[in-house]
Amino acid sequence: MLEVNGEMRRTQKQSARISGSGGGFGIGIDSLTLSKEVLLEHQQKDDVIRIIYEWIRYPESPSEASELCATDPEIQALYAQRQSLELVSGILCRNYVRPDASIQYQQVVVPRALRTKFIQATHAGAINGHFGVGRSREKLKQVTYWQSWAEDVRLYVLCCPECNQYRHGPRQK
């Protein structure tokens, strides 16, 4: 239950096959399954996520505003959301809460090297069927986060060979 404007509301916590209890952590989207070790390795190699890790572990790290202004815009965007970031079994995650507090997701912050794999799995995975931009975005939002994820999904679907071969505009009535 969550209190919003004096009302108690139920929240639906979703983490689409993200598990982090005990020693096991894994993430799965249809045909893509990543172990904790693989995801952690890629997050630690990523220049942006590595800096955010340090800020979460040592909150006093970003000492000056001028230092923050000189960083990558993606780092700035994640820093602005630092209250919603946390480490779950060592994996950097973002807690997403809809403005009306009706739905919550725990999203994995995806390193650059894995973004295309996640988009491909949500759009063209074994059971997804190339549903288009809207449904692909909705599935991806339930599990992952990065700054330009919505535009990346749009561009991926726009360039999808199967979608371009079989989809020829809106359906005729």
- The predicted-structure confidence for 87-132, as pLDDT tens digits, reads as follows 988 899 999 888 887 778 888 999 999 998 888 888 876 666 777 7
- The pLDDT tens digits of the residues spanning 74-93 come to 888 888 888 889 998 889 99
Q: Mean pLDDT, to the nearest integer, of 55-81?
A: 74
**Is the overall model pTM greater than 0.75, yes or no?**
no
**Residue extents of the structural domains in the chain:** 9-164
CB 87 within 8 A of CB 108: no
pLDDT of 162 reads: 82
pLDDT of 24 reads: 42
Indicate the CATH number of 9-164 among 3.20.20.450, 3.30.300.10, 3.20.20.370, 1.10.340.70. 1.10.340.70
CB 48 within 8 A of CB 109: no
CA atoms within 13 A on the CB side of 152: 18
